[in-house]
Amino acid sequence: MTVAGLPAVLSRIAEIQQRFVPPARFAAALAEATAATAAPARPGPAPAPVWQPPAPSSAAGVGAAGGGPVVSAPSAGAPEWAARLPEAGRQWAPAIADAADRAGVDPRLLAALVWAESGFRADARSHAGATGLTQLMPGTARGLGVDPHDPASNLLGGARYLRAQLDRFGSPALALAAYNAGPGRVAQAGGIPRIAETQAYVPRVLDYYARLR
């Protein structure tokens, strides 16, 4: 019953009381009922506090995708994307940037290629004889006029070879497939050839490239 309806009820009670209830008892009951009605309602439990995210700090933190690790700031003279390389790759970032600039390719794509090819090991050598950071074959290195055993020259050769595949095939995915399997196989397949190593290599390099962008 609402407070607004209380006067009508009390009037009705008074009418009944005049007929059946002694005035003294009625007055006491009426006072008790009025006091109970006017008493404020008992407050309910306080609402649970709402969680608020902590304010962002000025330090570098998790990436926008929500899963990236905390990265350190690049050292002086290193390109900005170098901070997102594994530790082994950060020392090579300036040389990668220089080779990429000379060949006219995105330095982050070249860094991603080196990441996949050698894990940034200048002394890496494959069972097939590919050498160095960009894993140049001896014949390819000779054709490019570079020394595959010199890290800076190796990077320049890899950057030039990647540039040639980008010019020929027009997309990073096909250029990377050509870098791995050879341009003839990509041309013959009309796309990424059905070679297990190449089909795993292309998305791996593109994933590294995405992390650096």
pLDDT score at 78: 84
- 117 annotated active-site: yes
Domain ranges of the chain: 7-35, 85-212
Among candidate residues 162, 163, 165, 130, the one with its CA nearest the CA of residue 148: 130
Tens digit of pLDDT for each residue in 194-205? Answer: 999 999 999 999
pLDDT at 137 over 70: yes
Report the top-level CATH class of 85-212.
Answer: mainly alpha
- Note the pTM of the prediction, 2 decimals: 0.65
pLDDT score at 153: 98
Distances (CA, A) of 160 to 5, 164, 185: 91, 6, 19
Distance CA 81, CA 27 (A): 87
What's the mean pLDDT when you consider all of the chain? Answer: 78
Tens digit of pLDDT for each residue in 25-54? Answer: 544 544 554 444 444 444 444 443 333 333
Distance CA 78, CA 36 (A): 78
Confidence of residue 211 (pLDDT cuts 50, 70, 90): very high
Tens digit of pLDDT for each residue in 78-131? Answer: 899 999 999 999 999 999 999 999 999 999 999 999 999 999 999 999 999 999
Catalytic residue among 32, 87, 117, 197, which?
117
Distances (CA, A) of 4 to 7, 16, 35, 43: 7, 20, 15, 21
C-beta separation of 149 from 141 below 8 A: no
What would the two tokens of residue 14 be?
A: 């008074």
